[in-house]
Structure 1
Amino acid sequence: MITAPLPLDEDARLRALRQLDILDTGPEEAFDRIARLAAFAFGVPVVLISLVDEKRQWFKSHHGIAACETPRSVSFCAHAVLSKRMLVVENALDDKRFADNPLVTGAPHIRFYAGSPLRLAEGQVVGTLCLIDTAPRTFSDTQAAMLAEFAQLVERELETRRQLLRSRSEHERDRRSLAISEARFRTVFELTPIGKAVVDLDGRFLDVNRKFTEIVGYDEAALRQRTFASVTHPADVAGDVALAAELLAGRQATYTMEKRYLRPDGTPVWVSLAVSLVRDVTGAPLHFIAAVQDISSRRKSEEALRNYHVELEERVRERTAELRRSHDAMQTITDNLPALIAVVDTDLRYQFNNATFRRVFAADPERLRGRGLRETLGAETFESLRPFFARALAGERVTCENVRYASDPERVWCATYIPAKREGKVTGFYVMSHDVTEQRRTEQRLRESALLDPLTGLANRRALQETLGTLRAGSKQYALFFIDMDGFKAINDRYGHDTGDALLREVARRLAATVRANDMVCRLGGDEFVVASRGVDDARTAERIAAAICQAVSRPLSMGGRLIEMSASVGVVLTGLRGAAGVSAASLAAQAEGRALADDPLGLADAAMYEAKRAGRNTWRVAPRAHMLAAMDA
């Protein structure tokens, strides 16, 4: 036996079946009549109107058998529902899908089956009208067409049932909606803080809420005896009546106006009135609905406000003239300053620019106002300065000392961004940008010529002299490392001076990378280097630094496909807070001549370096006097 799989639209099909509200209902003559007529027309003992539920097939009409349902798993009709076409089985014993089906091997001993799908208007197949016989039989095309017509009769009954259920549901929904709508209207009408009134076409009050009676001063009973015109200020009646006529003529759907009611004591009360016309289903007018708000206090406030506005406008004119004079003065002053001056808002748009912008950016300062900084500065410059803008908008005064504008990238500017505040809140920032190109060039030239070694970029002899003089004056502990390359002359002779220069530059780079960031690395000249290391007060630390220098310098250098072996000898001297000699000008002069002063730290370091060379090179030695000075300081 083969059980029919579930159709692809099974969920939608089951929803449609259950929406019929037909499962497990009692017999109905309309369906039973179709089953009897089909049994007579086809001469079969059993006719079923079968509805296929989730796990069963249930029979709305079951002519010829007593059972009301069977499991879906053994159902022939489930196969017809799956294919959505008429299913004809002339001999169930010859069909492998049903040969061992319990409905074939047992009661009711089905041999012949013909089932026509029952299809709803949306296309879902919910069951079949089926013919069953206990003996095999043939089924012609004419009989199939007739069975389909009988099935259409069942479908019509199902559709009639569905439409009836839908009508009942819609009627009940409309009834509930109407009840809810009426309850809501009454609630809104009675409890709203706005005066409400229902007025007939003759202007008489039909219904009013409590708020309306409070506004006009009449109780509900008195108002039902009056018209709206009788409680309206005479000067406002004509306008109200004219607008009501516009509603009746269909030229407006609603109207609003401000008018005055007269209370019983003759006191006028200003109100805001909104009126709508209610019509029946044919469009005939029924009555007016009026909504009223007391605006007496507002009218008094408006009068006071008008007087205040007159005074305020005069003040604004005076303040505007004052600001214009101030703005003109600021524009004149800033236009004559050799700097970029601007005001920027929180959206990073210019609010003010001086005349210097015309020269630098070739842009009219007036036209820059309201434009974004990105548009003027260019995307690259804008992105590089964005963090400074953010800090200024966060309330911090910041300076960027190396700004290059795309309009003239060769110039260097120093820009300061100052937060602009109003009542403690940042409203933007001021920009002051000065051209410092020449200043930077001068500083660079001076620095390079005075303190830097032109080959390696390290500090030169003069810079060392100034630094050591500062250390001596400050009585600071420090160590000196005198470094001399081993066999440098042979390298120069073998590979040439260009290679020698490149090697010196590499040694300078390695020394700078090896020692601490605040240590000074200096090239005295030739292949001699000095490192001044602050805060070194014991020989163990000094030896560790010297070892690191030797290790860094001794790494082979690959140049032009050649591997150049190199090393250095290092002499070390420690100075202390007491008794330590400074580096004198005489010592530096002696070093320039290739001599060393024995009582000078630099001379001692030089002497220790020669001891390292005599010890086999690529090593270090600590000057004995440096040990003595360190011991005295301890």
Structure 2
Amino acid sequence: MHSSAPFPSNEPARLACLHQLQLLDTPPDPEFDQLVELACLLLNAPMGLVSLTDKERQWFRSQRGLGAQEVPRDAAFCSWVVADGAPLVVSDASQDARFADHPLVTGKPGLRFYAGMPLYLESDLVLGVLAILDTRPRTLSEEELRRLELLAGQARALLRLRWKRQMLNEQGSLSDNRLARYEAITQGAAAGIVRIDGRGHIQEINDYALNLLGYQRDALLGENVSRLMPSRWAEHHDQYLRHYTEGGDARVIGKGRKVAALHRDGHSVPVHLAVGEVRLDEHHGEAEFIGILTDLSEMHQAELRERQAARQLERQQRLLSVLHKGLTDYHALMSGNRLWGFLQEALRELTGSDYSLIGEVLPGDTGPALKIHAITDLSWSEESRQLMLRLQAGEMLLTNPDSMLGQVFAGGRTVLSNRMADDPRRGGFPPGHPPLHNFLGVPIFDDGEVIGMYAIANGREDYDEKLVSWLEPFTSTCALLINLYRQLREREAVTEQLRQARDQAEQASRAKTEFLSSMSHELRTPLNAIMGFAQLLQNNRRAPLGERQLRQVEQIYKSGSHLLKLINEVLDLARIEAGRIDMSFESIEVADVVREACDILSPMAEQHGIRLLAQMGRCGTVTADYTRLKQVLINLLSNAIKYNRPDGQVDIRCRRDGERLRISVRDTGEGIDPDYLDQLFQPFNRLGAENGAIEGTGVGLALTKSIVEQMQGEIGVENFPGDGCEFWFCLPLAASGPAAALPQELPSREVAAAGGKSVLYVEDNPANQRLLRDLFEELDDFELACVHSAELAFEMACASPPDLILMDVNLPGMSGVEAAQLLGRHPRTRQVPVVALSANAMPAEVRQARKAGFRDYLTKPVDIPRLLALLDELTGEAS
């Protein structure tokens, strides 16, 4: 249950005064209604009231927005004002223990805010309250409290005036005592009171009104009240008053309104005017009118300050909005070439100016020059329009340092003039130029350097230093955007240079490719004939050549082979440099590759009298491309043989170096001249051996280095002048895994039906091919065919579809995944099962292979039992 306010200690006297006033249960009074309406309007409140507190009820003399005429006293917020005799402000009734469970708070209308001022004839006898109410929590500023107090003062004056009228009605005549009491009331009122007769002549005016308007009483008594009005109202006042007394409609009488009174010195005083009609004899007496003036000067000043603050805030928000858009939409505005036009137009609107410009300062041969980025069109003729277009396009720069613009961009000074016609700094304008009456030019600095400027002209108000200060954020933003603009231009210039360089490089690369392709074709064509006929001559049994001729033909064939090797090495190097060489990475046993390379080069070593010693032991496996690894070893071994001494030796060793395997080739030759070591791996550089007896192209080591690095390896040399040198290279070790071995005894299998099952194995590594050939030699019911590329496998499968295809995933040219997809789409091969056989064992690679159409996925080392089971399962499906 909500708390009830206590009764004041002087409750009997208070009630006696209230009843003597005789206002309870009287008809509506326009003056109080207007006062309540004004309070709601000035303080932005949906509800307001003037209440009188009786013994058990609160009666509304006037109310707005409440809908009731009275409420019980113990349920009234106003009872607390009457009890305390002081103003009461409740910001949120739902949070106040006195009112939280009040029906008007918990139910309709859901009151939250209440502010009430006491109304009294005498300060210790509070008869009622002037209050405003709201359904939302809120607070009042000091200025708003002041407004409410002023309005309460007028309500008190109305109560006193009512009391005066009551006293006069009761006495029936104007006795000296009554007149004294009346004068005491009017003179003591905190509002201006003016009494006029039916013709508008001033009969009485109190001190408050005299002080408010700056007059002495003698100067106004008997004068027409229109003297206190501005001319726009004064000239119509008598006509209005006469119209009203003759029965016309009331426009002011009985209706309060905000008006302006005229001070003696001529300035206007904002007041609230409430006019009431008084008749001494209600049947025959002449009407008189009493006007009550409440000074609204402080309120007017507060409203003026609020409007100015609101305008300033709106202006500041517009400035911030412009700067925000300029910074956040910089690239969009720049891409549409709209940035400077946007800023220039925004500057013109923000400052209320007719003209504006923004420009960038560029260094010139004779001093700074201004490039206009955006300017308001102020052309007045075709010639001036063309000039303006050249300025806007940046085709013409401003360079005069003595003009008003020049003093800004060349002198770095802020130039301000509000009297352009009389300013000695102004130069002459050509005939027809639009007149300029004020001007402001502001330099834009960056690290003490003038990088730009902006200017405005023909503002609606004078320009001043406050405007310059207010525009500082705009100035700083322009500095930032000019720097960004310059960086963008520099980046575009660099990008253009890079594009040209890229085009030149691509053109050179295409030219090199076309040259190499042409040379390959042009050289291989005659070589085919030269080497072909040389072989025919060597093997001519019908007309054998003599020993001298045979030696000459062998020299022709040898020279042709050397030339063919040179062509192949140059093309190989070009492909590696262009990144177009294909590699298939897998686990490779290094010892096997070394033995194969030594077998190939053994005849060459014997011819030169060189011993090849491969001390490999348990060398290990690396991740590399089989063919390219063998090419690297052959290149290094052939160099070690060619550049060795007679009866020399070549040692091949390998050892583990962390997570890599190091393979070295050591010869017993003369070593390398130290002066040539830094040129060792350069292409076409034979390190001074160009005129020696040993043939070569100078490409081999450069090609070897490129291949090793593409296999994620490293190559180097250790030189021992006079005692040979040691070339070495390192490759990453292969991931360890269970070794695959043939079982001691193959699982028992049923013999297939007559006619062997055909299996096609696609693999580019000879060692892997040899492994499966050895395996299939033990399988009587299978025939194995091996090919080294997916393209060849596809042709063979279409010509004669096998029962099963085993496919390596990493193949030169078309990959195994692409081949499986192609086989799955072709009508002749779509039913042939394809099984992946790869060193790639990552789950994602397995999923990708299955998605491409592989029936199964086997990883290397091969699980032989599983492979045999798949052979039975899948070839059985095919049959």
TM class by shorter chain equals: under 0.3
Q: Using CA pairs below 8 Å that are at least 6 residues apart, which structure has the higher relative contact order?
A: 1
TM-score (norm 2): 0.21
TM-score (norm 1): 0.28
